[in-house]
A and B are shown apart, each in its own frame.
Chain A
Amino acid sequence: MLIDNPLNSELAFPILECFHIVGFAIAIGSIALVDFRLLGFGLRRQNPADLFKETGLWVVIGLSTSIFAGLLLYSTDPDKYYLSWFFVVKMICLILAIVFNYTLHRKVILPGASQDKGILVACVSLALWVSVIVGGMLVSFYA
């Protein structure tokens, strides 16, 4: 027997979307604070390594909220998302962005890396996260 997904209620979807949006704004914005610092904008008097560590918790909380809400949103109509190329591309970008954030990004920011690499890494990081947002909009408009 098919059981109706309780998340299909009229209010559940918009409320989950709010968590999704606020979550990613906190996570991606916090990463961007560090990236802009690497590019020489914003909190220039702070050390990037310090900023990276201190915003680490915000990123984790924002990402978990966003991903958890995202999974619930996905569950309301899995076929629609699963079959959409935009969704697949968004997921690939998301995984790349997360992996990049905790590997190369982290390594370059922590002490001892050169300035040039910092700029390159900041650009890649910003590009990856923006591509996730673009992917999300494509899913919502065209999936």
Chain B
Amino acid sequence: MIPFAIWMQNVPLFEAVRDSLYGYPIILTLHLTFISLFGAMVLATDFRLLGWGLRKHSISDIVNQLRVPKWIGLALVVTCGILILGAKAEEYFYNIFFQIKITLLALVAVHALVFRGSVYSKAAEMDKMPEPPARAKLAAALSLLLWICIACAGRAIGYIYPPAGSHHYAAQLFMKPPF
């Protein structure tokens, strides 16, 4: 992965982010802002499934109306995340909390694969039940847990110093992609 990381941080776009005085803080601010927007939509969906909030509204109302906005929110968060990552890719790949964060994000994808068919696309059926089924509550609880851990791992990334010897922007040597 390290040759890929070194290639990535030498892509002109990411170089520009790294070298600009304000690029990095501005993108980080946007990352956090979009996390708020996305996080609240996750919270609303999950709390509704758990029966902890928005109980006056049907599950399908909340789940279906937030589906597209959630995707947009996630896309914005991830776009900023990739810009931040690319600027210092090599450092991040050595970072234990970055590795944890990526693993947790992979688990989010697994979560989506496992529960999409049986929970999120069956919102209308759940409307007819007096209480959301246990599987839906499990999906919601896991989703909340995963996203909170991802936010915490994200913050922790900043506390790990890169190992000595990393950060060598050997641009001429590594300009070609490694694959």
Q: Chain A residues in contact with chain B, CB under 8 A?
A: 14, 17-18, 21-22, 24-26, 28-30, 32-33, 36, 41-46, 50-51, 54-55, 57-58, 129-130, 133-134, 136-138, 141
Given contacts A18-B152, A25-B151, A54-B56, contact A134 B29 (CB under 8 A): yes
Interface residues of B in 81-129 (CB under 8 A from A): none
* Pair A25/B155 contact, Cβ less than 8 Å: no
Name the CB-closest residue of A to B25: A141
Kindly list chain B residues whose C-beta atoms are within 8 Å of the C-beta of A33. Answer: 40-41, 44
* Pair B39/A43 contact, Cβ less than 8 Å: no
Name the CB-closest residue of A to B29: A137
Q: Chain B residues in contact with chain A, CB under 8 A?
A: 25, 28-29, 32-33, 35-41, 43-44, 47, 53-54, 56-57, 61-62, 65-66, 69, 148, 151-152, 155-156, 159
- A interface SS class: helix
Q: How far, in Å, is B83 (CB) from chain A's closest CB? A: 15
Kindly list chain A residues whose C-beta atoms are within 8 Å of the C-beta of B33. Answer: 130, 133
CB-based A-B contact count at 8 angstroms: 92
11 contacts between A and B (CB under 8 A): A21-B155, A22-B39, A25-B36, A26-B39, A26-B40, A29-B40, A30-B44, A42-B65, A43-B57, A54-B53, A134-B29
Name the CB-closest residue of A to B64: A45
Cα A44 to Cα B159 in complex, Å, equals 41
